[in-house]
Amino acid sequence: MTRFKGFIIKEFYHIFRDYRSMVILFGMPVIQILLFGFAINMDIKDARIAVLDNSKDVVTQKIIQKIVSSGYFKLTENLSGTKDIEQSFKNGKLKEVIIFEPDFTKKLYKDGQANIQIIADAADPNMANLLVNYSNAIITDFQKELMKSQNIPFQIIPEVQMRYNPDMKSVFMFIPGTMTIILMLISAMMTSISIAREKEMGTMEVLLVSPLKPVQIIIGKVVPYVFLAFINAVVILLMGTFVFGLAIKGNVVLLLAESMLFVIMALSLGIFISTAANSQLTAMMVSLVGLMLPTILLSGFIFPIENMPLVLQWISNAIPAKWFIIAVKGIMLKGTGISFIWKETVILAGMTLFFLAMSIKKFKIRLE
């Protein structure tokens, strides 16, 4: 036991004395969360719009007011004619133009129908889609109120509900995603680098020619990172809660337990990488290219898995992050318990065992 303790103390010295490790360990999570949270924000807020109001009457004014007061849009221009539309789009940061036809109110009450045209800048198609949907929703809402006050019978109004994330805030998307990436990075990359460093510096030879067992060396390498990754998971959740207003619906203990399972999985993957990589550089490249890219691209963090080609969907099943993200989203957003995410948990546990067994089997008790 003293052997093992000595080993772990040494590992902590390595981590705390290397400023680069410290930056990766504690700087990166904070920076990534803030980056994803503020910079890569998919939420709509103050999108610039212009209005071409050809009737300028009570109803159009009401609709414009309702749109502007929603907080999603910001009225920057009042256009005077159709010819201005093109120019305004080209000039500025205008995202959308709303056009009311002449005699809007009159037509609405007389014919029961009036037209609004929405023109969006689809240079950014996702954004355009969102904006149009938001505008539509607001207008439909207005129409409903109108119908209610007019007491028109027999109406069928579809009511759309965005469950679990009613405001469709992207914070709920990126917190699980970022957590996955960071835990993966810290666990897999840092352990593989730290084992590769021993090989590079020639200290692994001395460790091998000692009574330490391979299991002891591996676990000794892993324990400090389990501890540090846990702290990171907590920091990310705290930032999500207090900076971005994420409310965790489910059981926090279960959430942390799943995180720990994922961390241990990533650690065993890191060890597995280091059994093959002999230098710190190789270890880092393999972790970054071989783990980070699939984790970001194929886990469903950014791109929905359902929209991928079938082959990629199959491949995504082998990405541990996919299962972790499903579990975490379930707990965080839906408040599901273990009975609903047992499948993901079992898959992660199975992957952990697989990588651990492979690592211990592949760990060389000699130099070749």
Partner 1 sequence: MKSIQVNNIGKSYHQIPALKDISFGVEKGELFGLIGPDGAGKTTLLRILTTLLIADKGTATIEGSDVVKDYKTIRRIVGYMPGRFSLYQDLSVEENLKFFAAIFGATIEENYHLIKNIYSQIEPFKTRKAGKLSGGMKQKLALSCVMIHKPAVLFLDEPTTGVDAVSRTEFWEMLRDLKNSGITILVSTPYMDEARLCDRVALMQNGKIMNIDKPQRIIENFSRRLCAIKTKNMYRLLKDLQGFQKTNTVYPFGEFLHYTAKENDIDMKEIIKYLEQKDHEGIEMREITANIEDCFMELMNKN
> Considering the complex, what minimum distance in angstroms separates the CB of residue 191 from partner 1?
17
- Alpha-carbon distance values, 315 to 68, 244, 300 (Å): 45, 32, 12
- Alpha-carbon distance values, 234 to 53, 142, 231, 260, 275 (Å): 51, 43, 5, 11, 30
> Considering the complex, what minimum distance in angstroms separates the CB of residue 345 from partner 1?
36
**20 lies in the binding site for partner 1 (CB under 8 A):** no
Token pair for 32: 């990534």
Q: With contacts defined by CB under 8 A, how many residues of the chain interact with partner 1?
A: 26
**23 lies in the binding site for partner 1 (CB under 8 A):** no
Q: Work out the burial of residue 35: count CB atoms within 10 Å of its CB; fewer than 13 is exposed, 13-18 middle, 19 or more buried.
A: middle
Cross-strand partners of 79: 52
**129 lies in the binding site for partner 1 (CB under 8 A):** no
Interface characters, 209-248, with partner 1 (x: CB under 8 A): xxxx------------------------------------
Segments in the chain forming alpha helices (H): 2-17, 19-22, 28-34, 58-69, 83-91, 104-111, 125-150, 171-184, 190-201, 203-208, 214-244, 252-276, 280-285, 293-298, 310-316, 320-329, 338-362
> Considering the complex, what minimum distance in angstroms separates the CB of residue 190 from partner 1?
15
> Considering the complex, what minimum distance in angstroms separates the CB of residue 122 from partner 1?
55
* Span from 3-11, 265-273, 285-293, 350-358 in contact with partner 1 (CB under 8 A): 3-11
- In the bound state with partner 1, the residue whose beta carbon lies nearer, of 23 and 201, is 201
**93 lies in the binding site for partner 1 (CB under 8 A):** no
Long-range contacts from 105-114, C-beta under 8 angstroms, 24+ separation: 105/55, 105/57, 105/58, 105/59, 105/60, 106/55, 106/57, 108/59, 114/59
Cross-strand partners of 118: 98
CA-based nearest residue to 262, from 332, 194, 171, 326: 326
* Chosen residue from 111, 159, 306, 368 binding partner 1 by CB under 8 A: 368
> Considering the complex, what minimum distance in angstroms separates the CB of residue 17 from partner 1?
5
**14 lies in the binding site for partner 1 (CB under 8 A):** yes
> Considering the complex, what minimum distance in angstroms separates the CB of residue 366 from partner 1?
5
- Alpha-carbon distance values, 244 to 34, 87, 156, 172 (Å): 9, 37, 37, 9
> Considering the complex, what minimum distance in angstroms separates the CB of residue 14 from partner 1?
6
**123 lies in the binding site for partner 1 (CB under 8 A):** no
DSSP string, 71-138: SSEEEEEEE-STHHHHHHHHHS---EEEEEPTTHHHHHHHHS---EEEEE-TTSHHHHHHHHHHHHHH
- In the bound state with partner 1, the residue whose beta carbon lies nearer, of 39 and 367, is 367
Interface characters, 143-182, with partner 1 (x: CB under 8 A): ----------------------------------------
Phi and psi at residue 119, to the nearest 5°: -115, 125
**19 lies in the binding site for partner 1 (CB under 8 A):** no
**39 lies in the binding site for partner 1 (CB under 8 A):** no
Interface characters, 181-210, with partner 1 (x: CB under 8 A): --------------------xxx-xxxxxx
- In the bound state with partner 1, the residue whose beta carbon lies nearer, of 5 and 361, is 5
> Considering the complex, what minimum distance in angstroms separates the CB of residue 196 from partner 1?
15
**310 lies in the binding site for partner 1 (CB under 8 A):** no
Question: Under the rule (CB under 8 A), what is the footprint of partner 1?
Answer: 2-3, 5-7, 9-10, 13-14, 17-18, 201-203, 205-212, 365-368
